[in-house]
Structure 1
Amino acid sequence: MAKWDNMLSMLWMLRSGRKLTAAHIADSLEISVRTVYRYIDALCASGVPVVAESGHDGGIRILESFKETPLFFNAIELKALVDAFKFAQGAGYPYTEELESALKKVENGLQEEQRDDLSRQTSGLDVIAPARPPSVVPLLRDLEQAEKEGRSVRIAYRKANAEQRDERDIDPYGLAYDRNEWYAVAWCHRTQAVRTFRVDRIAELTSTDARFDKPEGFSASAYFRDQSEQGREAAGPLALIRIEGEPDTLNAVCAHWHLRNYLKERTDREAQFLLDVPTMNKYLPVYLLTFGTAIRIREPLELKRRVQEMAHEIAAHYKDDRN
């Protein structure tokens, strides 16, 4: 265990209020008694009032005036915080500046040795952020604030491939980050239904005086799952679909916006899905055919044969084409 991890463990042992001997601490942490006393000196230098009393009733304790334990993190926890910030920044999280400020406060409380170790441990991971309009961050903040206040907003929204944008009033129920995009899940006054709006397609947002009550227990992620369920062709029967391939290829298969909701098991070389037969027959043959020989369908036989038939049909279509 690293030095700072041992010091944290020792600090929590002393927080129990009992007097502990150096030998007891050393045995518990599997370190030497001499190291225990070095840690005591380091904790005292950090402002922790550790007292070592000699004699028959002596021992090591923390003064009762010490009400709160300083915030200590072990090396892996610190690395996780820095890496989480990188992912949040890459996702376009609207409070990355505040998150960075909080992280700097944590880093300022570290010893120089800890800061150097943290820099080494986190230098190997980077998150490549997709290009986004600069307006997305303030839009996310405004939408979240409107959701908290229960206030309707008016948006100018441009659908995919649409030349004109249209205005509509919405009640923001929540935000969701999915497939590298931010979505507002909201009640649309025009359609009188819950809809999703890609935030980067919102050209303008203004507040209104209208108020709304969000449905109790509403979850944006649950809404996305429900939409996928509604995309099924039938309730059953269900078929077990087994697909083999290289890890990267299976990643692409499993990332499909609809299929990923039915993933049941995944290994490096195989992905298993449970999907109703009508949906499987209608959508999967065309989709899986795009992967060519990079995948192999193991089950069910019905799906495998349909892909074979489509491949033969394509080959026959171009058989006599000499150009």
Structure 2
Amino acid sequence: MAVTIKDVAKLANVAPSTVSRVIANNPRISEKTKKKVKEAMRQLGYHPNFIARSLASQSTQAIGLVMPSSADIVFQNPFFSTVLRGLSEGAHVKHYALHMTTGKTDEEIFDGVMQMVQGGRVDGVILLYSKVEDKIQSYLRERNFPFVVIGKPFKNVEEITHVDNDNFRAAKDVTEYLIKLGHQQIAFVGGSLNMVVTVERLLGYEKAIREAGINLVNEYIVHEQFLREGGQEAIRGLLSLERPPTALVVSDDLMALGVLNTLNEIGLAVPEDMSIISFNNVIIAEMSRPPLTSVDINIFDLGFEASRSLIQLIENPKEPVKRIIIPHQIVERSTCAAPNLR
């Protein structure tokens, strides 16, 4: 026979309504009572029926996640598995489930978001990216539907809650790091210019180059997909230049792995012939050969804070707009050194 709220209430010596309030995490219930009720639930093996609760409260207890592109491409990059762990943990604290878009094209992803929102499948949405042009953001704003962005919104930045790093500062920091080592021929390998993170990092790179009095070489700026193949394409193009760079700022560890693979194939050594510094500090950075110097952007924290902020917005529509900046730090390993001037 199924265990009920009444059974839990009897064991905990409280009213059934108190058990319901504990399950709903009502702030009016004391921590002592919550602990007693949760212990009774554990002893009896009681699990709340969240489907029934959602029907009663008109809440799905679910968050929609929107990827920047199709899932089969996205999950090649460890950034997304890490940010999902943070999102999941933040949602779990408040017993929210995660519902992911699965479209392969921008149109399919947009249709998926509309189905989630208009079908009442989720209480709010998290965008795991920020684009320069994004009709999903416009759609959610028009409907006044709760959403949070991981990244800096390109428009209406003061009106949208978002969680981000200071990508301008981070890119400026790493470019200055290479300049201090003696490099002047520094290339930038970024993703699509429709991604705000690429724009911010490119601006930081350019600022550091100009402040150092170094000529900005347009051919040293390359944009590819955030995939290993993107890094491979980028380095082949840069090495074909009459005066190839001696150092690279690469916007993603997976792209940097592609760069390392290609340099190894053609017999160029890192960091002796080419210095590389990248972003994200995922497991690839530690395990590559040689291990990558990389910017730790605390990806897990990006996800955790995004889900926490969205749930606050769902539970209190008057919650003020937040801009949460997650700190970054350079993790030095073995891919940067002074340029080989021979």
TM-score between both structures, scaled by the size of structure 1: 0.25
Quick check: which one's strand share is greater?
A: 1
Choose between structure 1 and 2 for higher RCO, CA contacts under 8 A separated by at least 6 residues: 2
Query: Which of the two has higher C-alpha Rg?
Result: 1
What is the TM-score with the length of structure 2 in the denominator? Answer: 0.24
